[in-house]
Amino acid sequence: GSCAVTLVQGSVNIRKLALPMLLLAAGCLAACTTALSLPTATMLPVLLWAFNLFECCVGFYFPVISVVKSEVVPEEIRALAYNIYRVPLNALVVVVLLVDIPLRTSFFITVAMLLVASVCMVSLDLRPKTGTAGKSAVEDYGATKQEA
């Protein structure tokens, strides 16, 4: 996944890959949820291909979301914002580890969260651009440094 992002980095706006990547990941996990009710001979190939494709989406996720975060979160509060979001993330991990959630239910919840993330990406793309529209945090920093 991350190697594919490197290959398309110069020709495609990386941020535009976020929504298709999230939807593809949700589709892969939805296929896994559906495959759990199939006979074993049919279920295993579906799970194998769906998880492999999902892993490619995970490889896409980190470079793509890093670009999105650099454009959305101001440099001055980046560390604070990331640390604040780690608290609910860690609480969610603890809850998942303490509660025995059935496999099908956990896939369904994950698909729902990926669909919510997709809606958030759409709303992020539709919001009006202000200030340094279209600039990455690195470009903005360079421009500020040159002005000073």
CA 134 remoteness from chain centre: 20
pLDDT in tens, the chain (148 residues): 566 666 666 666 767 778 888 999 999 999 988 888 888 888 889 899 999 999 988 888 888 888 888 888 888 888 888 888 888 889 988 988 898 888 888 889 999 999 999 998 888 877 766 544 444 444 444 444 455 4
Give every CB contact of residue 73 below 8 A, 6+ residues apart in sequence: 81, 82, 137
Through-space distance between the first and last CA atoms of the chain, rounded to whole angstroms: 39
**What per-residue confidence (pLDDT) applies to 137?**
45
Phi first, then psi, for residue 39 (nearest 5°) are -60, 155
Q: From 111, 114, 103, select the one nearest 61 (Cα to Cα).
A: 114
**What per-residue confidence (pLDDT) applies to 1?**
59
- Is residue 32 within 8 A of residue 103, CB to CB? The reply is no
**Eight-class DSSP state of 1:** -
**What per-residue confidence (pLDDT) applies to 141?**
41
Strands (E) in the chain, as ranges, are none
**What per-residue confidence (pLDDT) applies to 68?**
83
